[in-house]
């Protein structure tokens, strides 16, 4: 890509909008993941007895197992949400910015 195309992209307000939206969305998803992951780790550190409790009478599975699986599933869901938005909205914005930069 030539320097003048790069300069036109950087001067395009849609580019700055894309960067802002993508960064904001990434930060939100990161914070959600940090809360879920570190919340689980803090439960392990400070409330082992509750996590070790059984799901029900006569059951051998502890409460911590489904919570851990839940953190993994939550991660997969967040990844899916990001990929879907990146492949639609962000890619469309990117294509439009590139079209406008290459027109001139």
CA distance 17 to 89: 12
pTM of the model: 0.82
Helix (H, G, I), strand (E, B) or coil at 51: helix
**């914070």: which residue's tokens?**
31
41, part of any domain:
yes
40 lies in which domain range?
2-99
- Give residue-wise pLDDT tens across range 30-80: 999 999 999 999 999 999 999 999 988 888 999 999 999 999 999 999 999
104, part of any domain:
no
pLDDT top residue among 2 and 78 = 78
Number of domains, the chain: 1
| Helix or strand holding residue 53 (H, E) | none
């Amino acid at each position: 890509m030539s320097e003048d195309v790069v300069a036109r992209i950087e001067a395009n307000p849609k580019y700055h909008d894309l960067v802002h939206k993508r960064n904001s969305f990434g930060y939100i998803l990161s914070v959600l993941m940090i809360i879920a992951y570190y919340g689980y780790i803090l439960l392990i550190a400070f409330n082992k007895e509750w996590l070790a409790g059984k799901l029900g009478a006569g059951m051998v599975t502890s409460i911590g197992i489904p919570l851990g699986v839940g953190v993994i599933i939550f991660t997969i869901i967040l990844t899916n949400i990001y990929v879907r938005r990146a492949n639609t909205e962000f890619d469309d914005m990117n294509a439009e910015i590139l079209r406008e930069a290459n027109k001139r």
